[in-house]
Amino acid sequence: MAQSDSIPPGTLYMLVLKTLARLGPMHGYGIALFIQETSDGVLEVEEGSLYPALQRMLLKGWVEAEWRQTENNRRARFYSMTAEGRKTLRAEVQSFDRVNRAIDLIIHPSEG
């Protein structure tokens, strides 16, 4: 089900949280679209991974959901970030940066 060049495991939560931090309350399709567009089409989020992830985040209490009308008058479930989610995002981003730097040090060893 997962596409070949999909999102590295574990980072999807962070991406969703970051998206919500940027956009405010948004529905699942909007989140997927934003991630895809912002990453220049590199990161494609499948429903098969997006919705379970959203459910898990609901379970963890990182996001809250609410049914609202969209601009073209359809009902959609909008997700928004909780305080817990904000905390998690901060922690995730920090550890992501740390790991990234570490990987970078290994993959591109600086000659100096």
Partner 1 sequence: MSIFKELQRRWQYWRDRSLRDAELQEELQFHIDHLDTRQKRARFGNATRFREDARDVWISRALDELLSDVKYAIRGLRKSPAFAATAIGTLALGIGAGTAVFSLAQAVLLKPLPYPDPESLVMIFEGNERSAKSRTDTSPATYRSLRDSMRTMEKLALFGSTEKNLTGEGEPERLDGGTASANFFSTIGVQPFLGRLFQAGDDEMGKEDVVVLTYELWERRFASDRAIVGKQIRLNETPHTVIGVLPPKFRFYFERFELWTPFALSPERWAASRGARYIYVTGRVRNGFTMAQVQSELDSLGADFRRDFPREMSASKFGAVGLHDRMTEDTRTSLYFLLAAVIALLLIACSNVANLQLARSVSRGAEMAVRSALGAGRGRLLRQMLTESLVISVAAGVIGLVIAQGAFTLLQTLVPSGMAANARLGLNASTVGIMFGLAFGATLLSGLLPAVRGARSLTTRAIGDRGQDRARGVLIVAEVSLAILLLTSAALLFRTFANLNDVDPGFRANDLLSAQTVLPPVMYKQPALRTRFYTDVLERVRAIPGVASAAYTSAVPTTWKGGFSGYVAEGKPFIRGTSNAMMRQVTSDYFATMNIGLRAGRVFTASDRAGSEMVTVVNKAFADFVWPGEDPIGKRLRRGAPESDTPWIRVVGVVENVLEMGLANKPAAITYFPESQHPAASFSSPLYVVVRTQGDPAAFAPALRRAILDVNPNQTVAKLMPVTQIMAKEVEERRLHASITVAFAAAALLLACLGIYGVLSYAVAQRRREFGVRLAMGSSQSRLAGLVLGSGLRLTLAGVVIGMAAAWALTRYMEALLFQVTPHDPVAFGIVPAVLLVTALVACWIPARRAMRLDPSEALRYD
CA distance 99 to 93: 10
φ and ψ of 45, to 5 deg = -95, 120
CA distance 110 to 2: 35
Nearer to partner 1, 51 or 96 (CB): 51
* Nearest alpha carbon to residue 62 among 89, 35, 91: 89
Binding to partner 1 in span 71-100, by CB under 8 A:
74-77
Among 56, 90, 98, 101, binds partner 1 (CB under 8 A): 56
44 neighbors 3 (Cβ within 8 angstroms): yes
Q: Smallest distance, Å, CB 79 to partner 1?
A: 10
| Binding range to partner 1, per CB under 8 A, among 8-16, 45-53, 89-97, 98-106 | 45-53
- For partner 1, the binding residues (CB under 8 A) are 1, 27-29, 32-33, 47-48, 51-52, 54-56, 58-61, 67, 74-77
